[in-house]
Amino acid sequence: MAKPKIAVIGTGGTIASQGRDPLDVADYASSGLPILDAEGLVAGVPALALAVQAVPVRFAAIPSTAIGWPEWRGLLAKIAEVKAAHPDLDGIVITHGTATIEETAYLLSLTLPDDGMPVVVTGAQRPFTGLSTDAHMNLVAACRAAGDPASRGRGVLVVLNDEIHAAREVTKTSTGRLQTFRSPDLGVLGHVDADRVTYWRKPERHPPGRRFDISGIETPPRVDVAYSVAGGDAVAINAFRAAGAAGIVAAGFAPGFTTPAERAALAEAAAAGMIVVLSSRAGSGRTFPTRRYGAQGILNADNLNPQKARILLMLALTATRDLAEIAAIFGTC
């Protein structure tokens, strides 16, 4: 039986990083050694050939802290190029640093065509050369998930630590633990076990209400995140307005509040035409709509964390500035 054909697009990150020695699992960025490209990554995991036919695709070899709008647009173009060059592909795996993996995965889920082909994003908590690294097994597990027919039509997936997560739901919860990625509200979609890939559910928010086309947008609408703290004032919010932000995501207190000074500044920003979305710094759960905030034109992020609410608001603002339309987008995506 033919093995699934999987394109492995390398972007860099810890999964492709090299430390000074096997015990260098924290300061490997200072090792002076290059980040592996896709060819080096695939060649360094010979066991991958036991599971899939991997096609390495070079894209970037950078830490995920350096990934943003230009890289996202380039990655979308690369995925389209790979699909065209390999019409017999069964799936695509993107290797990525874990710092921003959830943001990249969510943006891809909102911008890639919904053609059913599995796209799986994976990374690692320990570098490629580290003792007991998770890089090798995460790459194998991601490729196995991408090549499994049951993965089709589930949207962009994130696979680490043998767990399969929905791009919209997953978040990084620990700086160093291998089990860092969690979907706090709803849990995993499935598992990559030794004998098979198993799914337990489908994400309800896939497919989203719309796909966003950013291919022709070189500079995204500026959206900033204002983090609520006890005694917080309007300084950051006013600075974001002065910098020309088109939108602000408020990372408020649970279940959806800010300090009085912050609320006044957000209301003023909304009255001036800025789109303001209220999320929560709590880490899980919805921000609940209230008459007070709603009357001031402040929208709710549903259960999106602040960094993902920022992604969605950026994309929404490429299509519309209508408050009702943006509210509907947050209710469906």
Cα separation of 26 and 130, whole Å? 9
- Is 14 known to be catalytic? yes
- Residue 94: name the closest of 156, 50, 3 by CA: 156
- Residue 93: name the closest of 54, 58, 143 by CA: 143
Cα separation of 7 and 66, whole Å? 23
Cα separation of 73 and 69, whole Å? 6
Query: What three-state secondary structure class fits 329?
Result: helix
Residues 6+ apart with CB under 8 A from 251: 225, 226, 227, 228, 279, 280, 281, 306
Catalytic residue among 11, 14, 95, 111: 14
Helix axes 235-242, 260-271, angle to 10 degrees: 20
Query: What three-state secondary structure class fits 190?
Result: strand
Catalytic residues, by residue number, are 14
